[in-house]
Amino acid sequence: MSLRVRDINSIMEKYAPSKFKEDYDNVGLMVGDMECEVTSILVALDCTLEVINEAKEKKCNFILTHHPLLFKKPLNITKGTLLGKKIIELIKNDINVYSSHTNLDSVKGGINDTIMQLLNFQDYNTIELSKRNEEDDKVSGIGRIAKLKEAITVDEMCSRVKKCLNVPFLRYSGDEDKIIKKVAVINGSGQSYFNEAKKLGADCIITGDTTYHYVSDFEEENIAVIDAGHFDTEWPAVVLLAKQFKNKIETMGYKNSVFISESNKNPYKYK
């Protein structure tokens, strides 16, 4: 039985329907052919040139990413731009790229929920429910907020994040001894949801990609912010979801190999 691109599209649509993407987002098949037969699959956070080369080396003609390759409409496709180089290289090598982004963040069992489970937060709700939820769906949406069974300090929360997400370094604001009873988590870049988290009573917000003035203002309002980085608040969940995806296609009778990218790494380095 041959696995085709349309089969993966069907699997992903059932797991993380594209209707749950945010309005600014672009998800689904970025480059490729729905009728193409899939050889092996490479899972990555981003479709970088290194990831494309890795796909070629591992004989993968399908790359499944979290971040969309095509986020904004390109004005042209030439080797004079990084995006153009990628698209030309993908087409020349018959490699398909599929991206599941904010829809995968949003749904039950997606990136948001997986990060919460990795951090061992159990009693949590969604910060902002999707406008496209069915009446009985009280989960799909961006961000999660948890009421802790036992209050902990900012210092202890930083240690938990570093250990559970395997983060070597992080940035944080707030008094180390401040007590946290309610914590908000927005994986990736979450600043636009800070005010919603505040309204819901968060003592601490865990996210990535924060900027000075946001953090400074929230520190004045006595809300701690832990910035563990965009990559590190998403990649651990992507790895787990890749393993679940592999199990899914195996139970469907497909024998295709699923590789987790070894070349897709955090672009930041620390000294």
Residues (pLDDT < 70) of the chain are none
d(CA 122, CA 142) in angstroms, rounded, equals: 17
pLDDT at 144: 98
Does residue 101 have a known ligand-binding role?
no
CA distances from 262 to 75, 78, 154 (A): 31, 27, 32
Q: What is the pTM of this model?
A: 0.96
Q: Are 34 and 67 in contact (CB under 8 A)?
A: no
* Phi, psi dihedrals of residue 193, rounded to the nearest 5°: -110, 5
Q: What are the strands, taking DSSP E only, across the chain?
A: 28-31, 40-44, 60-65, 96-99, 124-129, 141-153, 171-173, 179-189, 204-208, 224-227, 258-260
Helices (H), ranges, 93-221: 102-106, 111-118, 154-164, 194-199, 212-220
Does residue 66 have a known ligand-binding role?
yes
Compute the radius of gyration of the chain from its Cα atoms: 19
pLDDT at 37: 98
* Full set of structural domains in the chain with CATH: 5-103+235-260 (3.40.1390.30), 107-229 (3.40.1390.30)
Burial of 18 (0-12, 13-18, 19+ CB in 10 A): middle
Integer distance in angstroms from the first to the last C-alpha of the chain? 50
* Phi, psi dihedrals of residue 243, rounded to the nearest 5°: -65, -40
pLDDT at 270: 84
DSSP 46: S
Does residue 213 have a known ligand-binding role?
no
pLDDT at 47: 98
pLDDT at 225: 98
Question: Directed axis angle between helix 82-92 and helix 49-57, to 10°?
Answer: 20
pLDDT at 137: 94
Does residue 89 have a known ligand-binding role?
no
